[in-house]
Amino acid sequence: MSTMHDVAQRAGVSLKTVSRVVNGEPNVSEQTRQKVDAAIAELDFRPNSVARNLRTGRIDLVGLALPHLSQPYFSSLAEEIMREAERLGLTVLIELTEGDAEAELALVREHGPHLGGLLMYPVGLSDAQALTVARTVPTVFISERAYDAPVDRVAMANREGVRALVGHMVSLGYTRIAALGADHTGRPERAAAHLRLEGYRDGLRDAGLPYLPDLVLEVGTPHWNRQEGATGMRRLIQAGTPFDAVVAFADALALGALHALQEAGVRVPAEVAVAGFDDTDDARYAHPSLTSIAPGRAQIAREALALLNDRMNGTVERESGRLVVADHQLTVRESTLGGTAAWGGA
Amino acid sequence: MSTMHDVAQRAGVSLKTVSRVVNGEPNVSEQTRQKVDAAIAELDFRPNSVARNLRTGRIDLVGLALPHLSQPYFSSLAEEIMREAERLGLTVLIELTEGDAEAELALVREHGPHLGGLLMYPVGLSDAQALTVARTVPTVFISERAYDAPVDRVAMANREGVRALVGHMVSLGYTRIAALGADHTGRPERAAAHLRLEGYRDGLRDAGLPYLPDLVLEVGTPHWNRQEGATGMRRLIQAGTPFDAVVAFADALALGALHALQEAGVRVPAEVAVAGFDDTDDARYAHPSLTSIAPGRAQIAREALALLNDRMNGTVERESGRLVVADHQLTVRESTLGGTAAWGGA
DNA sequence: CCGACCTTTGACAACGATGAACCTCGATGC
DNA sequence: GCATCGAGGTTCATCGTTGTCAAAGGTCGG
C-alpha cells in the first residue's frame, strides 16, 4: 500500500497538500490539484481509514444490533440499511444480540467506543438501559416499544396498519373478523402486539362493528411464527365461533393460519379471508398469496440513518428524543380477493 | 474515554508498562500488574482498537462478502460465521455483492486493505480474479465452484449429499426418481448444479437404475427459488412422464415442487416422495415437512475461519490452495416417510 | 512604494497505541 | 571485586493521517 507520503513525494508537494486534495479542501490551485490527482492515480493510493479515524476521532462505522439474522424481517431490514448506509458513505457492522438484554448491553460496552453510531433493534432493554446505551454512543432505536427516555426511535405504523387491514376486510363485506396474535400480558417488549390490537379495535370502531373477545386470539411464545399461527387458528376453528376473516399481526402467523384453515378444509379466500403484516417474501410466494401491510422498510432504513447522522454530527441536542413512524402500505393479494392471479404472482 | 496515558498516571507507572499488562507480555512483576489492573478497572479503560491497529498493522476485522442476506442459506451462514468468529475474538463485517463480479472486486479494492481477512461467497469471479482477490487480502472462499488458482476454499458435499438422497429414495422403494434443478449450460458459476447432478447419477448407478433424461429437469434463473421449482414440476406433470420421487437440488425448489404437486392433487409422500437440499428452516416448517440434506453449515463456518486464521497468521504458504468439504447429513422428514408427526414438527 | 490582506503552501505536532533500544539494580559466577 | 546477566522498567520513534500555525508570494488601494 502506498501512503500519502509517497503521493506527496511523487507529486513534488507537501503531505498536507495531498491531504487537502484528498479531502476536497479549498485553497489548492488547479495546477497543483491535477499534479496530485495524477500521482494518486499512478500509485493507486487510497487513504488509510484507520489512520484517518485515529486522527479525526470520527469513525464511519455504524453498528447494527439485531436479535437474529435468520428471520426474514431482520435480514431484509439489514439489507435495506446497508444499502442506504453505503449511499451515505458509512459502513455497517452487524451484531447479533439473540434478543438478550445482557448481550445488548455487552455489545455496547465492548464495541460502542469504537463505533461512530449505533442502530439497535432492542428487545430486552429497559428504559434506563436504553438511555445508558444512547449515552455511550450515538444511537437510534428501531423499535415498536416506546421508551420513557430521551432517545431517538423509528417505528412502524402498527396501529394504523392493522386499522387499514380491518378497513379493507370491512370494505369487502366481511364482518366477523378475527384477530390473531394478541397479547394480554402487557409486557412492554410486546408493544407491537398491543399497538396492533389497538389498531384492530380502531378498525372495528370505524366500521361500527362490535369488539368480540372470542375473536381475539392470543398466541404463545414471543416469536410470532407459523406454528403459533396454526395453533391459534385451530383453537378458533374448534371453538366453533363463527368468523369470516382473519387479521394476523404478522405474516408468519397468517401463514400458519392459512395452513390450519386449509387443513380443516376451509377455502381461502372463498370462505375466509386472511391477511398478515410485514409483507415478507414468504407472503408473496404463499398460496394463496397473502394480503399484507408493507411496513415501509426502506423508509425505516432511510429515516433511521438520517436520525443517526444528525446525532453523529452533533447537529441535534444531546439528550433529546425524536420519533419517526414510517408510512404503511396495504398490499392486496389473493388471500383477500380470490382473484385468478397465478401462484407466486405479485 | 480514558487512554493508556491516564491509566499509567493513575497506576504510577510508564505507558509502556500498561501496554505490557494489557497485552499480557512477560517481564512485569506481579505487584505492578495488579496496580495496573486496578487502575484499568477504576477508569474502565479499553484499548483504542483504532490506534492499536494503526500501530500494529493488524486488524481483527474480517469481511464476509455475500451476494444477499435475504436468502435463508446466506443469513444462517452469516449467523454461524459470526458466532464462530466471536469465539476467535474476531469481528465480522458483512458486505453485500449482489452476486456481481464488479461489486465483488470493488469491495476488495475498497475495503480489502483495511480488513485482516476475507471470507467470500463469490459468484461472478473468474479464476484470475479470484487469485487477485486472494493476493489483496488473506481470503478463504466459500464456494461450490473449484477455482483453477491456488486459493483456499470450503465447500459442501454436493455430490455425496445428492447421492445419499437418491440412496434414501431407493431404500424406500422408489425407482423413478426425478432430479429438479439441473443445469446444462455448463457455466462455471453453476457448479453446484453440476455437482449435484453428478451425485444424482452416482445414486442411480449405485442402485443399478437407468439415467433417464426425461426425469432430469432444468430450471431457469440462476436463483433456485420456489417459483422455478413449481414451474419445473408442472412441466414434468404435464409431460406425463411417470415418476414416484423428486430429488430437488435445493429446498426452495423442493418447496415449489411440493406446491405444484399438491396443486395437481398428488399426495406427498403417499404418491410421490420429495426431498431437498440445504436443510433450511422453511424445509422444517413446510407441510409436509421436507426431507433434506443438512450441508454442515456450522462446520463450514468453523473450517472457513480456521483456514482464514492460518492465512492471517501467515502460518501457511502464501500462494497455496487448500480445500475442505464439509460433512453432509441426511435429515429425514415427512415428505419421504409419510409419518404422523404434526405439521411443523422436527 | 508600502502596508493590509488574501491565497497557496508547507512544517510540525498530535491522535493512542506498540516496538526497539536502553537504563537500573540486585543477584550470580569466577 | 568486577564483569555479566536478567527482570523490571523507561524513553523515544513510529504507524498514516489531519489540525494549527506561519511563511511565501501575489494583489490592491492609497
Which pLDDT belongs to residue B338?
53
Peptide bond into B113 cis (omega under 30): no
Which pLDDT belongs to residue B160?
95
Domain match, A182 and A249 both = yes
Q: Is the dihedral of CA A38, A42, A46, A47 positive or negative?
A: negative
Instruction: Answer yes or no: is B31 CB < 7 A from strand D.
Output: yes
**pLDDT tens track for A220-278:** 776 788 888 888 999 999 988 899 999 999 998 999 898 888 878 888 888 899 999 99
Whether A321 maps to a domain, the answer reads no
Whether B53 maps to a domain, the answer reads no
Q: What is the CATH number of the domain that holds A35?
A: 1.10.260.40
Count: domains in chain B: 3
A75 interfaces chain B, CB cutoff of 8 Å: yes
Domain match, A73 and A171 both = no
Distance to chain A for B50, nearest Cα, Å? 6
Which pLDDT belongs to residue B226?
84
Domain match, B270 and B210 both = yes
Q: How many residues does this entry show for chain B? A: 346
Which pLDDT belongs to residue B343?
37
Q: What is the CATH number of the domain that holds A220?
A: 3.40.50.2300
Domain match, B271 and B303 both = no
* Inter-residue contact B131 to B149 (CB < 8 Å): yes
Domain match, A152 and A185 both = no
Identify the top-confidence range among A59-63, A145-149, A198-202. A198-202
Instruction: Answer yes or no: is B4 CB < 7 A from strand C.
Output: yes
**pLDDT tens track for A44-90:** 998 998 899 999 888 888 999 999 898 888 899 999 999 999 888 88
Whether A320 maps to a domain, the answer reads no
User: What is the C-alpha to C-alpha distance for residues A307 and A303, in angstroms, rounded to an integer?
Assistant: 6
Instruction: Answer yes or no: is B51 CB < 7 A from strand C.
Output: yes
Domain match, A152 and A176 both = no
Whether B56 maps to a domain, the answer reads no
Written in H, E and C, the secondary structure of A183-247 is: CCCCCHHHHHHHHHHHHHHHHHHHHCCCCCHHHEEECCCCCCCHHHHHHHHHHHHHHCCCCCEEE
Structural domain span for residue A245: 158-294+330-337
B54 interfaces chain A, CB cutoff of 8 Å: yes
* Inter-residue contact B118 to B137 (CB < 8 Å): yes
Phi and psi for B188 in degrees, rounded to 5? -60, -30
Instruction: Answer yes or no: is B15 CB < 7 A from strand C.
Output: yes
* Residues A227, B285: C-beta atoms closer than 8 Å: yes
Whether B10 maps to a domain, the answer reads yes
Whether A342 maps to a domain, the answer reads no
Side-chain-side CA neighbours of residue B287 (13 Å) = 17
Domain match, A84 and A182 both = no
Domain match, A273 and A288 both = yes
Residues 291-310 of B with CB under 8 A from A: none
| Mean pLDDT score, A180-192 | 87
Domain match, B174 and B286 both = yes
Higher per-residue pLDDT: A93 or B111: A93
Nucleotides in chain D near protein beta carbons (<7 Å) = 7-12, 14-20
Instruction: Answer yes or no: is B28 CB < 7 A from strand D.
Output: yes
The whole-number Å distance from B11's CA to C22's C1' is 23
Residue in B64, B70, B84 to test binding to A, most A beta-carbons within 10 Å: B70
Which chain B residues are within 8 Å of A69, Cβ to Cβ? 69, 75-76, 78-79, 82
The whole-number Å distance from A18's CA to C22's C1' is 37
Block mean pLDDT (10 aa), chain B, length 346: 88 89 86 89 88 85 91 89 89 88 88 87 91 90 92 94 94 90 86 93 93 89 82 90 92 90 83 91 82 93 92 82 92 74 33
Which pLDDT belongs to residue B346?
31
The whole-number Å distance from A47's CA to D27's C1' is 36
Which pLDDT belongs to residue A111?
82
Percent of chain A with pLDDT over 70: 97
Q: How many residues does this entry show for chain A? A: 346
Whether A132 maps to a domain, the answer reads yes
User: What is the C-alpha to C-alpha distance for residues B161 and B277, in angstroms, rounded to an integer?
Assistant: 8
B59 interfaces chain A, CB cutoff of 8 Å: yes
Whether B30 maps to a domain, the answer reads yes
Which chain A residues are within 8 Å of B1, Cβ to Cβ? 113
* Inter-residue contact A262 to A291 (CB < 8 Å): no
User: What is the C-alpha to C-alpha distance for residues B236 and A89, in angstroms, rounded to an integer?
Assistant: 49
Domain match, B125 and B142 both = yes
A76 interfaces chain B, CB cutoff of 8 Å: yes
Domain match, B207 and B260 both = yes
Instruction: Answer yes or no: is A15 CB < 7 A from strand D.
Output: yes
Domain match, B140 and B168 both = no
- Pairing verdict, β B61-66 and B91-96: parallel
Chain B residue whose CA is closest to A69: B75
User: What is the C-alpha to C-alpha distance for residues B89 and B312, in angstroms, rounded to an integer?
Assistant: 13
Q: Is the dihedral of CA B247, B248, B254, B260 positive or negative?
A: negative
Distance to chain A for B203, nearest Cα, Å? 32
The whole-number Å distance from A34's CA to D29's C1' is 34
Which pLDDT belongs to residue B284?
82
* Inter-residue contact A104 to A82 (CB < 8 Å): no
